[in-house]
Amino acid sequence: MSVKTLDDLLAEGVSGRGVLVRSDLNVPLDDDGNISDPGRIIASLPTLRALVEAGAKVVVTAHLGRPKGEPDPKFSLAPVAKELGERLGRHVQLAGDVVGTDALARAEGLTDGDVLLLENIRFDPRETSKDEAERTALAKALIELVDTPGGPTPAFVSDGFGVVHRKQASVYDVAKLLPHFAGNLVATEVKVLQQLTESSDRPYAVVLGGSKVSDKLAVIENLATKADSLIIGGGMCFTFLAAQGFSVGSSLLQEEMVDTCRKLLADYGDVIHLPVDIVVAEKFAADSPPETVAADRIPDGKMGLDIGPESVKRFTTLLSNAKTVFWNGPMGVFEFPAFSAGTKGLAEAIIGATEKGGFSVVGGGDSAAAVRQLGLPEDGFSHISTGGGASLEYLEGKELPGISVLQN
């Protein structure tokens, strides 16, 4: 990827200069509105810290959740501003709006090394508009916050890898209007994904979980031709088991994808590996008693909530000599302790491969959350991505608008 990076911007000098940063601060909140996993905030710190220490006037845009294009207190970035400030070791102001009077007033008052976080960018419907003119209008309003008349030219730093697959105002349109640079996080993520796609040491193993085959179909089709083994678990494995003619009880099943899975198994049966045993329960609940059954003997009325111990053993053997591993999606309902062993076992197998010198990438989203929730060492993996959807689209071979715009 031939783009200018944060180092290039710092070499130009940013003291007293307005810098607009698109970060990915979309962290999960618990029922009380507290941050349950600050991983993305932590990942955003190196770029923000470097700019602050170099004396930039930093304005950060980010989103939280999926508000419907209007202010919603449930999706306020207030808890994020507090956490970010504590971790940066300095006060982070939160504007009361996106590009309104409060944001303008606070931006005008910034001094060198200050940080202003704008309220949830998705409170403005123009952020996600399909109309380029609407997105451009918002982009220009964002630029106004970092542009001091008669002052140095402002800059844009793209550091929210989790949103680079979106053609949105704060990701794409701003970059078309300002000198633009890839932040540390985006530059690292792209370098890692390039390594996965272009120079994978073999054996190359892919582990895919999650609920729906349809969400991962393109990546399965793309990686099945490149990987030596493709392990499938999570809710999506039941559609594959159904494609083999097995009853899956009341497990998650995408009926409309059964024929597709049958074709995938016919084309790539030597590469695709499915569970041989399943942990089932009567209902989707943490206290539902678990029972392990053979994958081709799931009883009627029972639903699969995890892969079983024999599957973990077989998959561990497959992964034991892997030189490259990409993992995206949990093997079961890891949030429930009784159904977390499959995900933990697979993660430990990947850590084992990494310790032997393998290169391992955790593809963001629920997989990254599982690593932290299950108390696994984050440094046991070569790289934990912050962008699940963006990682998958890159591996599908799609162009990511937020990356391609940085190359211009």
Residues assigned a catalytic role: 40, 212, 365, 389
Report the relative pairing of strands 92-94 and 57-61 from DSSP bridges. Answer: unpaired
Nearest to 190 by CA among 161, 158, 167, 226: 161
Cβ-based neighbours of 136, under 8 Å, separated by 6 or more: 169, 173, 177
Cβ-based neighbours of 13, under 8 Å, separated by 6 or more: 54
Residue 25, marked binder: yes
Tokens, residue 47: 């770029």
- In terms of residues, how long is the chain? 408
Nearest to 145 by CA among 157, 154, 134: 154
Q: What gap in Å lies between CA 227 and CA 240, rounded to an integer? A: 18
Residue 297, marked binder: no
Cβ-based neighbours of 299, under 8 Å, separated by 6 or more: 249, 280, 293
Q: What gap in Å lies between CA 357 and CA 372, rounded to an integer? A: 22
Nearest to 101 by CA among 44, 159, 57, 145: 145
Tokens, residue 59: 């304005």
Residue 262, marked binder: no
Residue 63, marked binder: yes
Residue 26, marked binder: yes
- Orientation of helix 39-53 relative to helix 365-373, angle to 10°: 100
Cβ-based neighbours of 71, under 8 Å, separated by 6 or more: 97, 119, 120, 123
Residue 24, marked binder: yes
Q: What gap in Å lies between CA 272 and CA 265, rounded to an integer? A: 7
Residue 265, marked binder: no
Residue 363, marked binder: no
Cα–Cα distances in Å, from 49 out to 44, 54, 117, 170, 225?
A: 9, 8, 14, 20, 41
Residue 395, marked binder: no
Residue 335, marked binder: yes
Residue 20: strand pairing partners: 59, 156
DSSP state, 74?
G
Residue 82, marked binder: no
Helix H segments across 132-183? 132-144, 174-177
Residue 166, marked binder: yes
Residue 193, marked binder: no
H or E element in which residue 92 lies: strand 92-94
Residue 159, marked binder: no
DSSP state, 125?
G
Residue 321, marked binder: no
Residue 93 has φ and ψ, to the nearest 5°, of: -70, 145
Annotated binding site for ATP: 216, 304, 335, 364-367
Annotated binding site for substrate: 24-26, 40, 63-66, 122, 166
Annotated binding site for (2R)-3-phosphoglycerate: 40, 122, 166
Annotated binding site: 24-26, 40, 63-66, 122, 166, 216, 304, 335, 364-367
